[in-house]
Amino acid sequence: MADTQIFSGAFAEPVLAAQSVFRTVMDCMARPGTIGTIAATARPPQPLGVAAGAVALTLCDHDTPVWLTPQLARSKLPGWLSFHTGAPITGEKHEARFAFVEKEAVLPGFALFSPGTQEYPDRSATLVVEVDSFEDGRPLKLSGPGIRDEAVIAPQGLPDTFVALAEANRAMFPRGVDLILVAGDRVLCLPRTTVIKNREA
C-alpha cells in the first residue's frame, strides 16, 4: 500500500539541494552550451534520469503543469512528481510549463508546446530532454546571447530534425520554448535565443 517508489527519492536537504540545482541550471541557461554538473542527488522512478529528476524537484511546483512522454506517464513518475512537487500532470502539451522526455524517446515537435504570448513570453514551456551523452554526437554550432563568438556541442541522441525544430522555434522570438538537455548527472541549456546550426565537418 505504501508505495516506496513514489514516496522516496527526493532531495535529502530540499532547500539547499534545490538552490544548488537552480544555480547550475541558471548558469547553464545564461551561457548556452556550457555543461554543468548536478551536485544534488535525486532518485526519480525509472526511466527518468537523475539530472532530469533533480531539475523536476527544483523547478516544478503546484503552478506548473507537467507533460510526460507516454512511457513516463505509465511509470511511477506522475505520483512521484505530484507528491514531491505538487505539480499537476497534463496530457495536453499546450498546457504544460514543463515537459520531460526520457532517453531514446521520440522528441515531440516543439510547436505543440506553449510558446507563451507576445505580451507574456514567459508563459511558455521548458522541455527537459535526456540524451545519451554530450560527447561524440553530430557537432552543433551555437551562437547568440550568452555566447562569446560561438560554442560547439556534440550531444548524442537528438533526432536529425533537431536543427530545423530549433530554427523554427527561434523564429518566433520573443515567443518559443526553452530546452534543458540532460545526460546522466550533467546538464546543458539551449534557450530560445540561441541560434543552432549544423557545423560543417
Partner 1 sequence: MAPGVNQIPSDIAPERRREAMGLLAKATRSELEQAWAALPKRPEAEPVRGPETGLVMVRGRIGGGGQPFNLGEVTATRASVRLQGVVGHGQALGTDGEKARLAAVFDALLQLPEHAPAAERLLAEIAERIEGEDTRKARETAATRVDFFTMVRGDD
Partner 2 sequence: MYVAVKGGEAAIANAHRLLADRRRGDRSLPSITIEQIVAQLGLAVDRVMAEASLYDRAIAALAIRQSRGDMIEAIFILRAYRTTLPRFGYSVPVETSRMLVERRVSATYKDLPGGQLLGPTFDYTHRLLDPSLLRDEQVEEPLQRDGEQEPVMRVSDILAGEGLVEGDGELPAGHVPGDLTREPLEFPMARDLRLQALARGDEGFLLSLAYSTQRGYGNNHPFVGEVRMGEVEVELDLPELGFAVSLGRIQVTECQMITQFKGSVKSPPQFTRGYGLVFGQNERKAMSMSLVDRALRTDEFEEDVVSPAQDEEFVISHSDNVQATGFVEHLKLPHYVDFQAELDLMRRMRREHDERSREEPGDDTLEAAQ
Report the interface residues with partner 2, using CB under 8 A: 6-7, 61-63, 79, 82-83, 86
Q: How far apart are CA 181 and CA 124, in angstroms?
A: 17
Buried b / exposed e along 12-37 (16+ C-beta atoms within 10 A): eeeeebbebbeebbeebbebbbbbbe
74 touches, from partner 1, partner 2, none (C-beta below 5 to 8 Å by class): none
**Does residue 184 contact residue 37 with C-beta atoms inside 8 Å?**
no
Phi, psi of 30 (to 5 degrees): -75, -25
Residue 6 C-beta: closest distance to partner 1, Å: 9
Q: Is the CB of 1 or the CB of 201 nearer to partner 1? A: 1
82 touches, from partner 1, partner 2, none (C-beta below 5 to 8 Å by class): partner 2
Residue 79 C-beta: closest distance to partner 2, Å: 7
Q: Is the CB of 43 or the CB of 138 nearer to partner 1? A: 43
Q: Is the CB of 63 or the CB of 149 nearer to partner 2? A: 63
**Does residue 37 contact residue 24 with C-beta atoms inside 8 Å?**
yes
Q: Is the CB of 3 or the CB of 150 nearer to partner 1? A: 3
Give the position of cell 522528441.
107
